[in-house]
Amino acid sequence: MGRRKIEIKMVKDSSSRQVTFSKRRTGLFKKANELATLCGAEVAVVVFSPGGKPFSFGHPNVDSVADRFLNQDPEPKDGNVIGTSSAEKLNQQLTDLLKQSQAEKKRGEILDKAIKASHKTSIDDLSLNELEKLKRSLENLRENLKVQANEMEASSSLLLLANKPAK
């Protein structure tokens, strides 16, 4: 089955919308990188996720392109392919996301232990109230893991794009 043309309209389901945003954002950044590489253009792209989180891609970097645009400078100020501050920021974001991911994994393990401890014989012994609490905590954990995974995917994509040398 090949690609199908889809109608361009707002995705109704919020989780599907987040997945679509993540995939299309990566594709947009790849296209911006290709435009910069093939044409020698200076490119800056800034997008905000449905949750309000900003994502950016710039070649040579977002700051220099934005400064050039705002000041209408005819030439770039430096010949850097990637500003060291941008690469350092991306590395720091990736490190922070990895730490958050580890913390969520530990939280999941703690929840698993708590669930096992509360189950003296089986899940059938839990009251309706306890089952609802368990369901809510598991749903929260699942949503947190989805968000962390999407952020890690986005950060690693940006890091790969930022560290790719220009031709």
Q: Which tens digits make up the pLDDT trace of 16-74?
A: 899 999 999 999 999 999 999 999 899 999 999 888 899 999 998 898 888 888 887 55
Domain residues for 32?
Answer: 14-163
Asked if the structure places residue 57 within a domain, the reply is yes
Asked if the structure places residue 81 within a domain, the reply is yes
Asked if the structure places residue 5 within a domain, the reply is no
Q: How many helices (H) and strands (E) does the chain have?
A: 4, 2
Asked if the structure places residue 23 within a domain, the reply is yes
Q: What is the DSSP letter of 165?
A: P
Asked if the structure places residue 4 within a domain, the reply is no
- Token pair of 99 as six digits: 């730490």
Give residues with Cβ within 8 angstroms of 58, minimum separation 6: 43, 44, 45, 64, 65, 66, 86
Asked if the structure places residue 1 within a domain, the reply is no
Q: Which tens digits make up the pLDDT trace of 100-131?
A: 888 888 888 888 887 777 655 567 777 888 88
CATH code for the domain in which residue 58 is found: 3.40.1810.10
pTM here is 0.42
Residue 110 pLDDT: 87
Write out the DSSP string of 45-88: EEEE-TTS-EEEEEES-HHHHHHHHHHT-SS-S---SS-HHHHH
Distances (CA, A) of 43 to 31, 97, 136: 10, 26, 44
Strands (E), the chain: 43-48, 54-59
Question: DSSP 3-state assignment of 39?
Answer: helix
Q: Residue 121: what are its φ and ψ, rounded to 5°?
A: -120, -50
Q: Which of 60, 53, 52, 116 is nearest to 83 (CA)?
A: 60
pLDDT of residue 80 exceeding 60: no
Asked if the structure places residue 44 within a domain, the reply is yes
Distances (CA, A) of 158 to 16, 21, 51, 161: 21, 15, 18, 5
Asked if the structure places residue 46 within a domain, the reply is yes
- What is the total count of domains within the chain? 1
